[in-house]
């Protein structure tokens, strides 16, 4: 039960970081923290229910996080080469 509360706290901290960080890399780092908090809650639910399915889902989360990081960091590097910045305040061409 205490780990469910810990995962709630970690998730909120990651959300705070994703909102307040101003460069894309650090926003991405906070999103990794939120993913990790979700995985922690899955593992503790898996323990509480006595079922291994939660752990299998966490394995998938880790694999998908690896794919996400590969694509996301590739995007950040490509944007930085073209725009010389990754500040999320300056990358707002898609805003109406």
Ranges within 12-71 binding another protein (CB under 8 A): 12-17, 19-26, 28-30, 32-33, 36, 39-41, 43-44, 46-53, 55-56, 58-60, 62-71
Give me the least distance between CB of 87 and another protein, in Å please: 6
In whole angstroms, what separates CA 69 from the centre of its chain?
Answer: 9
Total binding residues for another protein by CB under 8 A? 72
Give me the least distance between CB of 16 and another protein, in Å please: 4
73 in contact with another protein (CB under 8 A): yes
Angle 7-12-14 (CA atoms, 0-180°, nearest 5)?
95
Give me the least distance between CB of 94 and another protein, in Å please: 16
Give me the least distance between CB of 8 and another protein, in Å please: 3
Over its C-alpha atoms, the chain yields an Rg (Å, rounded) of 16
Distance CA 8, CA 14 (A): 10
Element of type H or E holding 77: helix 53-83
Q: Are 86 and 24 in contact (CB under 8 A)?
A: yes
Q: Which is nearer to another protein, 66 or 93 (CB)?
A: 66
């Amino acid at each position: 039960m205490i780990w469910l509360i810990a995962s709630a706290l970690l998730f909120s901290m990651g959300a705070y970081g994703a909102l307040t960080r101003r460069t894309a890399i650090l926003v991405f780092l906070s999103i990794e923290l939120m993913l990790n908090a979700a995985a922690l809650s899955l593992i503790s639910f898996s323990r509480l229910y006595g079922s291994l399915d939660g752990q299998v889902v966490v394995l998938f989360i880790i694999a998908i996080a690896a794919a996400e990081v590969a694509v996301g960091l590739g995007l950040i590097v490509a944007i930085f080469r073209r725009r010389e910045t990754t500040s999320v305040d300056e990358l707002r061409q898609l805003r109406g």
